[in-house]
Amino acid sequence: MAIFTLLLLFVLSLIYCVYGAPISFLSNADGFTLSNLEPRKYFSYGVTPKVLGQNMTLTFYDVKTSTHDCDDLSVEIQNNGYFKNDYNRVAIMCFPESIETYTLSSTRGFHVVIRTGKDPLTGQISARFTVPSASGIHVTNQLLYSI
């Protein structure tokens, strides 16, 4: 049994070294952090202000990726947190510098879609949603799956 356990740990550590850690999603009170980016993933996150019609802001921070190729990473912003794929697209970005300096305001919320391509990459993307009062945000959609 001990040999099997050691062999299993060796195989898992080899997979970790070759493919990296599995993708990780951390939700916090005012946004999210997506790290250990993996190939062929689709991440979707929708938010609205808890007080409908209240202005809210989206900013990105701690954006670090190993690519500048739009086929490997894209961040799409839709100006509506209620529905995904309602085509109120206001931005699509793939360069870490343009993602980190991007800021947008909306009274309808946001839908953030992050897609990774077929090639391995590393890094993380964090987003913060702010509202002027203490009312907070309401998460309407949150998914992560393979494509």
Between 132 and 105, the more confident residue is 105
* Within a domain: 7: no
The pLDDT > 70 percentage for the chain reads: 80
The tens digit of pLDDT for each residue in 57-98 reads: 999 998 988 888 888 889 999 888 766 555 678 888 888 888
Residue type, 59: T
Position 22 scores a pLDDT of 57
The pLDDT > 90 percentage for the chain reads: 10
Domain region containing 38: 22-146
Between 136 and 17, the more confident residue is 136
* Within a domain: 122: yes
Position 86 scores a pLDDT of 57
* Within a domain: 59: yes
CATH number for position 115: 2.60.120.290
* Within a domain: 5: no
Q: Helix/strand/coil (H, E, C) string of 66-112?
A: CCCCCCCEEEEEECCCCCCCCCCEEEEECCHHHHHCCEEEECCCEEE
* Within a domain: 28: yes
Position 88 scores a pLDDT of 76
* Within a domain: 14: no
* Within a domain: 9: no
- Let me know: does 54 contact 87? Beta carbons within 8 Å: no
Q: Is 7 helix (H, G, I), strand (E, B) or coil?
A: helix
Query: Structurally, how many domains does the chain consist of?
Result: 1
Please list, in sequence order, all residues whose beta carbon lies within 8 angstroms of the beta carbon of residue 10, skipping any fewer than 6 positions away. none
* Within a domain: 88: yes
Position 127 scores a pLDDT of 93
Between 4 and 133, the more confident residue is 133
